[in-house]
Structure 1
Amino acid sequence: MPTSGFASTRALRRWQVEELAEAIAAVAGRSLPGTMDVDTDFFDAGGTSIAAVELLGVLDRELDIRPDLDTVFFDARPRRLAHRWLADNPEAVAPQADLAQTLGSAVREAAMPAGTAENDPTGSWFATTAEGDEFDAAERSERPAQTGVPERLPANVRRIGGNAEAFVDTDDLAQMFADLGGADRLPLVGPVERVAPQRILLTGATGFLGSHLLLDLLRHSAAHVFCLVRADTDEDALKRLEEGLRRFSLPWSREVARRVTAVAGDLRSPRLGLDGQRWEELAAEVDSIVNAGAAVDFLRGYPSLRATNVLGPLTLAELAATGRPKPIHHVSSLAVFNGSRASLLAEDEPTANVAALPIGYDRSKWAAEAMLRRAGEHGLTVTVLRAGGIGAHPDTGAHNARDLNAGITAALMRFRTVPGFRYLNAAPVDWVSRVAAEIVCTPGAWGHTYHLTGAPTSLEQLVAETTVGGLGVRVQHWEQWCTDVVRTIREEPVPELESLAQVLQSPVARRQLAAMVTAPPASSARTDAFVAAQGLPAPATGLAARGKLLEVVAGVGTRADAEPYLRFNETLSGTVVSVDDTIEEPVTIPCDLRLALSVAGSAQAFAARTLDVRGELHCPALHPEPLTVEGTAIVRPHDGLPLRHETRHPIMHYRLALRDPDGGTWWMEGYKFAAARRQLVRQLGTQAVEIGRTGEPAAYRGAVSVPMHTYLPDQIDGIQIDPTLSERQQRLAKLLWLSWFGGQLGKSLLEPMLRVGTDLLDLRRALRKDNRR
């Protein structure tokens, strides 16, 4: 049976680097919107993590090469993949020469000319090879694009298992220090004018932090903001900007559109992808630059990230030095400390030794800071805003679904486990963006480094918070936690956790997690002093910061075999009658329910005020045998407001589905009401119910009540807490539930009393007015 692709014409001839590189480029290009050349990074061309996994399978089938996933993430340029595969497998054979050459020619003819501004991220003033050679735009148009790495691997390459880490000492560090040299060619500039900015250039405005920062700049200043957005036209850029804000539950209005100018460009490209005239116009128009744009990916290596994370800030420094000098504010990361042995991560603490940084992302952020320090030596005013973990918005729950902290939170919801760590240096996004915007708009604050991390959270604090919030968790060593989470996600796929699984199954990315869980606390003394001086609020902490996120990611749910966080029983007995008007004397029919009410976690109860209900119903009118019951009960529905044409206030609303042993289905709806009358306790246990066949109106109506002798043993003494929690956590969880649920019931009983009292006062006022007349 004939085979397709390269495999069908396999000949015993060794691959050549260029030939293999072109073949990889052609294969990779199939999963991208257009074609790519041998020096274009797969991810910069639009590739995704899932597409990278699929690419490995195609390379194995068609080219008989099997690079591992970490190698692809480290540097996804086909030329570098070819170099690395042949360095480890020098005997690898190639398919028939004419087929490979034909494919290579097609790639060269279809691809954009190498070295153009659109696909050469090393352009502008600072384009260099690893050796530090410099060349201008005219030269680039006539010579192949520079890869920035040696064409032949040095003999002293240190290999570790044949993966991407083997190349750190040569490709990675050599390229990094060559990139830093770009700042040395910046011109010397004079001091900036220290006045509040009126026209700000912002990058990364479609991202999580950048979108919040855009709104805070507009809300707390009179500035007009130019937003650099990756798009073909300014109109498309404006549309992407609007979509970005709406994605994170942020408002878009005419006022926002009036004070924003969307600029189509690309942070990765020379001169931001702008033509010469637009570049000069932008340099003359803006008086401040804020860089919140970055490629945040813990799987990709430095060569794959440098275009956005290092050369992008370098181009912004070039813009800041063009025309009148402009301050530049750069959003960085505590990742520059990963691997540091410091006991406290202070704002002026030296960053880690670059050789100790575990992954490409950390190195790219380190290189960007180092490059900007050199730019500062040329006279530029540089402010570094270091963020740690950026948490969800405490009011909207908006969060970055691909963020490692959000992934860990979702896993906590699903598995009730957390990796053991020393400290979490994180703050909610609203506070981070608010403080960053204030620094940008306060000239006296420029030129320093700030830690936008808030107060560190210890493991003990997080465990206490989750216990209070009804999510008692089990702490695991981070390596065991990684293994268990990945295995469970693979056994029971959860789409919301797929990104986390991809990170945790990568040995390279696990080094990032190891650095995170062993990190010391961050100090933010300068930031704290600035926040106090400006009268800014402190960041939300604890459940106030994470409660809404827990509610949002509650959709991930708990495992089907997980114990409910809390459960208790409820017994109800009463009668129903037929609602058929043709029956002159309706027969009273007994109706008894044996229910179990439960919650999976505090977000379900405290935020959604919803309980899961299961059990059985005995009612001879429906079926001689018991019917199964499944549904929900809502505590204080409609915030306890009376239903239409009702004076009673709803305490609980039951919506249940019934199924008889023969497969027949029914519905049941019930309300517990509170009214301003005696027998308050009796009202808490009485439920007005209606029952009908599925899709039909109610056939029976009546009332069922909790027998008083069952209330204490079932709903107080009988509360059961997840047995996997410690005894202390179980006691605390029970007390929290009783205080919250009791408070809800008390509020429900008090509201009708207050309403009657208010009505009486209004009546007395009306009578006094009448008497005066």
Structure 2
Amino acid sequence: MREVNENTSATADQRATAEAIERGGAGLTVSDLLARVAGVGEAPARSAEAPAGSDGVAGTAEAFVGSRGVAGSAEALVGARGVARSAEAPAGSAGTPPTGEQPERPDVAAPSTPDHPVAPSVPSPARQHDLDQVAAAIATVAGRYVPAGQLAPDADFFDAGGTSVSAVELVSALEDELGVAVDLDEVFADARPVALARHRLSGTAAPIAVPETPVPAALPAVVRPAPVASPSDSTARPEDLSQILADLALADRLPFVASPEPLPPSRILLTGATGFLGSHMLLDLLRHSDAHVYCLVRAADEEAAVDRLGEALKSYALPWSSEVRRRVTVLPGDIRRPHLGLSDEVWNTLTHELDSVVSVAAAVDFLRGYQSLRTSNVLGALTLAELAATGRPKPLHHISSIAVFNEVGIPSVGEDDPLAHIDRLIAGYDQTKWAAEVALRRARDHGLIVTAMRPGGIGGHTRTGAYNAQDLSSGLISAFGRFRTVPAFRYLNAAPVDWVSRVAVAVVCEPDAWGFDYNLTGVPNTLDDVVRDMAFGGMHVRVQDWDEWRVDALARLEADPIPELTFLSRVLQSPTALKLCEATLKGPAAVADRTDALVEALGLPPAVRYDARAQLKTFERLAGDGLARLPHKDDQPYLWFTETTRGGVGPVDGSPDTPCSMSLTLSIASMHQLVTDRRVDVRGEVTCPALHPEPLTVARGDIWIRPEEGIPQRHGLRHQLLRYRLELTDADGGRWWLEGHKYARARRDVWRQTRALTVELGREGEPVSLAGEVVVPADTYVRDQIDGIKVDPRLTGQEKRAAKLTWLAWFGMEMGRGLVGPFARAAADLLDLRRTQTPTEQHR
């Protein structure tokens, strides 16, 4: 009985507080207003007509949404992988044109069902006034952190130019100035001031009703999604599922369309040309087709759009020449706006002149929620579908993402496999890519030719090393190289940007390839592949458990902050992003049978594993930008040993020799250095009294092994084994040089040939002044250069032995080839001589 009385009392208190709120908050500060609602434990009953994310859509959703509500069960949406066809066909949506007609019923909410009853609730004017006050106050503070200096209450903070760093500052400012305690994850989930105010006033994640954005007279009114009851194992927010269900129905408002002509395109609209993949696709479209490309670029005017596109191409080491400019028309616009932000005249012209639409643009942020990303990633894709379906029939080529499979525990990732359960996708980015692809599948039912291409991780260019600095995979790779640790994973479904771009453009230009789904993921990398590649590059790494790696990486980034990796720190601290990483690291290998068959049929470069050489070019760019560190001479070497030589040098005029000796340390920074450069780094001293009474220090030194690739000298009887090039400084600041050569000759003294070095010395900028020969003493050769090899102490004992054996085997092979060469050529000369002799001469 006592428990019942306490519950009754609590309910009465909440009712009293709610009634006080509804009586109005005029004249109160935001802090006072929020203090009045602090004790509200439950939000008032809300209408299904106003869920989270439904307000503030500036016409784009209205251009597609139907007027008869959303039929089909929510369970069909969230209870099966992919989307069941029975749940994809809302009632009353049979192809009503997206614009130009008024619906018969201007504003009808989603139908009530036994599982999801719709309460005809209308917010009181007083409560609405409270919400408007809080939203306006939050918008005022948030405006200080965006480039424009102001933010509308229904505008997204990130779309307006806010960053992850400024989001942290915003959260702090709201609490300090307004007393509004907002969690950072709430900002990333839905960064509109009105949504933040709604969350704060409701005291729960459930939204309260807000007034709808006025709908233009020519557009149908907005249908508000019904709330979805998610299963107990769902990881998605219920309000996001509600919005996704409504967004899928937008495709049903597209008109029916005839099939386009199966011809290679000549006039293409490309979005996302200023992005990493889009910029490479633009150049590939120009290189591999005769098409003229219209690039939609977000900018205030055409001049700014042209400048932005040019700067983007140059930043990725791509040309922005007069020939490129001649074949490109830059259109200032925005995929987040109705008709792409274009004038009616330009829009109508494009609908009749274009013969292909390529959708690459997307907001890529693994911290933002569905509500924050849907305008760019879902509504923008549907606006492009409207363009493709209007006027002249055009295929739509949509760059989706392998993230549509990012469900923890998904068994397979094939091109025709069912997508993930939408309620088990964790990140807002994954949810938006899923929703866009599924919505466009519905558009196929209207006759629209839609091609979905799903890249995985997009790595750096294999030749230029250009990479996307803000990409999560690039951030992780730079952390691998900087910290020399890698988290355990099953597969990395990644491919270099040049291969992804080339295959995507081939699909666009080949009519027989239209209308299918492709996984542009290349050949999956295993953990062993990555560890081996990095070790090959001199970056021996330690494998850690994911949690251990995350904690270690965060500690390192906190101790040594790197501005370019701030976003990675945010990711590693976000519970949502961590689950996303877990799904990525533990997922299966992507399968791309259709893509492989197309590549083979068109004679394109086949998919290959994103190997060490490609990664190292990217590492070099990362290192140049301070994001990663490649091995270099100032680091502790990967492997090193000492070399001592003694001999004499004298003037080139033939005067007697004077003593000369060298005490050097030879080292390599990586095995990759050997294989690609065949070069060894040198440090140490040269003692030569004829130059200076004090030893000379090696300021810079290199040794090249078989530098001439076996090209013979002196008619093939002498081959160059080693070449030394040392830059020397004396105690008085003077600068000198030393050039040394080790030769193989067709003579019996092979042991001495491997130890003797012909040297020349001179003052910097002057010709040789001293020359002679120095030799490694026989009793120190084995002791120093074989037994005395030292290896990076961070390697295990087994790895140290393997490193020594690898070096000795490689060096021995190279020296052996060099030593055998002169003898083989001498033998060949002898045989050639015998063939040219007469029988009489042979018997003399």
The answer to whether TM tops 0.5 is yes
Cα offset for 1:480? 1.1
* CA 528–285 in structure 1, closer or farther in 2 if over 3 Å, else same: same
Is this contact kept in 1: 2:156–2:192, CA < 8 A?
yes
Cα offset for 1:630? 5.7
Cα offset for 1:135? 6.8
1:39-58 matches, within 5 Å, as 39-58=154-173
1:74 to 159, 164, 189: 189
Question: 1:767 matched to which residue of 2?
Answer: none
* CA 489–547 in structure 1, closer or farther in 2 if over 3 Å, else same: same
Is this contact kept in 2: 1:414–1:559, CA < 8 A?
no
Deviations 1:531-571 (A, max 9, x none): 22222221232335434324444552269998532222233
1:313-712 matches, within 5 Å, as 313-339=381-407, 341-541=409-609, 542-555=611-624, 556-557=628-629, 564-573=637-646, 588=658, 590-599=660-669, 601-607=670-676, 611-615=680-684, 631-633=700-702, 635=704, 651-652=722-723, 654=725, 667=735, 669-673=737-741, 682=753, 686=757, 688=759, 706-712=776-782
* CA 632–206 in structure 1, closer or farther in 2 if over 3 Å, else same: farther
Question: 2:789 matched to which residue of 1?
Answer: 719
Equivalent-residue separation in structure 2 for 1:690 and 1:303 (angstroms): 71
Cα offset for 1:432? 1.4
Gaps of 5+ in 1: 1-8, 91-128, 758-773
Question: 2:67 matched to which residue of 1?
Answer: none
* CA 227–608 in structure 1, closer or farther in 2 if over 3 Å, else same: farther
* CA 589–305 in structure 1, closer or farther in 2 if over 3 Å, else same: same
SS of the residue aligned with 1:597? Answer: strand
SS of the residue aligned with 1:310? Answer: helix
Question: 1:101 matched to which residue of 2?
Answer: none
Equivalent-residue separation in structure 2 for 1:89 and 1:344 (angstroms): 37
Equivalent-residue separation in structure 2 for 1:378 and 1:140 (angstroms): 20
Deviations 1:459-497 (A, max 9, x none): 233333334444332211112111111211221234554
* CA 672–442 in structure 1, closer or farther in 2 if over 3 Å, else same: same
Equivalent-residue separation in structure 2 for 1:236 and 1:735 (angstroms): 59
Is this contact kept in 1: 2:660–2:686, CA < 8 A?
no
Question: 1:266 matched to which residue of 2?
Answer: 334
TM-score, normalising length from structure 2? Answer: 0.71
Say which is worse superposed, 697-706 or 356-365, in terms of deviation: 697-706
* CA 65–534 in structure 1, closer or farther in 2 if over 3 Å, else same: same
Question: 1:36 matched to which residue of 2?
Answer: 151
Say which is worse superposed, 318-327 or 10-19, in terms of deviation: 10-19
Cα offset for 1:22? 2.5
Equivalent-residue separation in structure 2 for 1:131 and 1:677 (angstroms): 90
Is this contact kept in 1: 2:147–2:161, CA < 8 A?
yes
Deviations 1:137-166 (A, max 9, x none): 34899x9xx99899xxx9999999xxxx99
Q: Which amino acid aligns with 1:213?
A: M
Equivalent-residue separation in structure 2 for 1:713 and 1:413 (angstroms): 34
SS of the residue aligned with 2:283? Answer: helix
Equivalent-residue separation in structure 2 for 1:712 and 1:640 (angstroms): 26
Equivalent-residue separation in structure 1 for 2:429 and 2:647 (angstroms): 65
Equivalent-residue separation in structure 2 for 1:361 and 1:370 (angstroms): 14
Say which is worse superposed, 617-626 or 543-552, in terms of deviation: 617-626
Is this contact kept in 2: 1:551–1:604, CA < 8 A?
no
Is 1:19 matched with 2:133?
yes
Q: Equivalent pairs: percent with the same residue?
A: 47
Equivalent-residue separation in structure 1 for 2:821 and 2:137 (angstroms): 74
Say which is worse superposed, 334-343 or 551-560, in terms of deviation: 551-560
SS of the residue aligned with 2:642? Answer: strand
Deviations 1:329-382 (A, max 9, x none): 111111111115442211111111111001111001001011101111111111
* CA 261–155 in structure 1, closer or farther in 2 if over 3 Å, else same: closer
Equivalent-residue separation in structure 1 for 2:823 and 2:564 (angstroms): 46
Is this contact kept in 1: 2:484–2:542, CA < 8 A?
yes
Cα offset for 1:588? 4.4
Equivalent-residue separation in structure 2 for 1:225 and 1:75 (angstroms): 35
Is 1:199 matched with 2:267?
yes
Equivalent-residue separation in structure 2 for 1:199 and 1:634 (angstroms): 55
Equivalent-residue separation in structure 2 for 1:705 and 1:276 (angstroms): 83
Is this contact kept in 1: 2:410–2:587, CA < 8 A?
no
Greater Cα radius of gyration, structure 1 or 2: 2
Equivalent-residue separation in structure 2 for 1:463 and 1:374 (angstroms): 43
* CA 230–196 in structure 1, closer or farther in 2 if over 3 Å, else same: same
Cα offset for 1:735? 4.4
Deviations 1:675-709 (A, max 9, x none): 686788758763747587xx998999666654444
Equivalent-residue separation in structure 2 for 1:658 and 1:728 (angstroms): 40
Say which is worse superposed, 422-431 or 741-750, in terms of deviation: 741-750
Is this contact kept in 2: 1:451–1:527, CA < 8 A?
yes
Question: 1:104 matched to which residue of 2?
Answer: none
Say which is worse superposed, 19-28 or 728-737, in terms of deviation: 728-737
Say which is worse superposed, 484-493 or 465-474, in terms of deviation: 465-474
Q: Which amino acid aligns with 1:29?
A: G
Deviations 1:83-136 (A, max 9, x none): 33444599xxxxxxxxxxxxxxxxxxxxxxxxxxxxxxxxxxxxxx99998974
Equivalent-residue separation in structure 2 for 1:659 and 1:21 (angstroms): 72
Question: 1:175 matched to which residue of 2?
Answer: 243
SS of the residue aligned with 1:46? Answer: coil
Question: 2:100 matched to which residue of 1?
Answer: none
Cα offset for 1:633? 2.6
* CA 384–157 in structure 1, closer or farther in 2 if over 3 Å, else same: closer
Is 1:230 matched with 2:298?
yes
Deviations 1:724-759 (A, max 9, x none): 4345544444444445556777888999999999xx
SS of the residue aligned with 1:30? Answer: helix
SS of the residue aligned with 1:349? Answer: coil
Say which is worse superposed, 390-399 or 310-319, in terms of deviation: 390-399
* CA 756–665 in structure 1, closer or farther in 2 if over 3 Å, else same: farther
Is this contact kept in 2: 1:551–1:603, CA < 8 A?
no
Cα offset for 1:327? 0.6
Cα offset for 1:674? 5.6
Is this contact kept in 2: 1:470–1:733, CA < 8 A?
no
Deviations 1:3-47 (A, max 9, x none): xxxxxx999723354333333322332233212212222221122
Cα offset for 1:383? 0.7
Equivalent-residue separation in structure 2 for 1:238 and 1:228 (angstroms): 10
Cα offset for 1:390? 1.5
Q: Which amino acid aligns with 1:75?
A: D
SS of the residue aligned with 1:308? Answer: helix
Q: Which amino acid aligns with 1:489?
A: L
Gaps of 5+ in 2: 1-27, 35-129, 712-717, 828-844
2:312 to 217, 233, 244: 244
Equivalent-residue separation in structure 2 for 1:610 and 1:67 (angstroms): 57
RMSD (Å), alpha carbons: 4.5
Q: Which amino acid aligns with 1:137?
A: P
Equivalent-residue separation in structure 1 for 2:536 and 2:31 (angstroms): 67
* CA 57–682 in structure 1, closer or farther in 2 if over 3 Å, else same: farther
TM-score, normalising length from structure 1? Answer: 0.77
Q: Which amino acid aligns with 1:27?
A: V
* CA 158–751 in structure 1, closer or farther in 2 if over 3 Å, else same: same
Is this contact kept in 2: 1:667–1:691, CA < 8 A?
no
